[in-house]
Amino acid sequence: MSVFSLNLKFLRDGLSQEALGKEMGLSRSDINNYESGNSYPPVEKLLQISGHFKFNINTLLTMPLDTLPKQKLDALRSAYLTKDGGLQVLTTTVDTGNKGNIDLVDVKARAGYMAGYADRGFIEKLPKFHLPHFILPKDKTYRAFQIDGDSMPPIRSGSWVTCYYVESLKEIKDGHGYIIITHDDGLVFKLVYSRIKEKGTLLLVSLNPTYAPYEIHKREVKEIWKFALKFSDQIVDEIAA
């Protein structure tokens, strides 16, 4: 049974499947099929479920909620509800075994990604691969981005960085590397320092000193991904082939 199926049953919390379905505009059979794993909800129904329970889709798909303390559950709901910490609902895909894919976004796909990061059809067409769980923990959602430019040595242009999705800006760790998707700058790879509490901004810093640090407002951020590991372009080409 998938994490999503277990989470839906947990969040139903004793309410009948029919009653929950009426609350969300879904049928009892929809709820039964999702909980049993017989079918998987399309993105529009995932959005309904996400909005009803006030958890990001990524959380519902990957995080076993019944294992979390109430304080953590409240924090996840707070991140969903507040502009201060909440980001957009992430569009993800899974393989036939309901295992999350690692999507590959190369330099050529960047323009399309900026226009279609929330479009399930676009995300489904991206190349994909998997890594063993002893390399990447299974409780997160990953995406691999090809680096363009020389702002973050020793990571050279053309290399790939695999990152995991950050659900809330409150989770940012100062001085760590992140891929940031913004309205104006597109996709950038920088060290990030949070200025959310003081100014509502993030400070973005390059490892190459010829590039000056700059700030962006939290409202500009569409997605943020924390650096997990790097592959050379040759290795990723072999995996993706």
Mean residue pLDDT of the chain comes to 83
- Mean pLDDT on 69-77: 82
Asked if the model's pLDDT at residue 88 lies above 60, the reply is: no
The whole-angstrom separation of Cα 123 and Cα 197 is 33
Which token pair is 113?
Answer: 């990604």
When pLDDT is averaged across residues 17-45 and rounded to a whole number, the result is 89
Best mean pLDDT range from 78-82, 108-112, 193-197: 193-197
Spatial distance between the Cα atoms of 92 and 182, rounded to a whole number of angstroms: 19
Overall average pLDDT of the 29-54 stretch? 86
pTM of this prediction?
Answer: 0.61
| Average pLDDT of the residues in 229-238 | 54
Res. 207 pLDDT band, cuts 50 70 90: very high
Residue with tokens 């592959």: 231
CATH number of 102-240: 2.10.109.10
Mean pLDDT over 129-142 rounds to 77
Pick the CATH number of 3-81 from 3.40.50.10860, 1.10.260.40, 3.40.50.2300, 1.10.10.10: 1.10.260.40
High-pLDDT (> 70) share of the chain, %: 84
The full set of domain ranges for the chain reads 3-81, 102-240
Please report the pLDDT score of residue 80 as a whole number.
Answer: 66
CB 102 within 8 A of CB 130: yes
SS3 content of the chain, % helix, strand, coil (to 5): 40, 25, 35
pLDDT given at position 47: 78
Is residue 236 pLDDT above 70, yes or no? no
| Average confidence (pLDDT) over 99-107 | 84
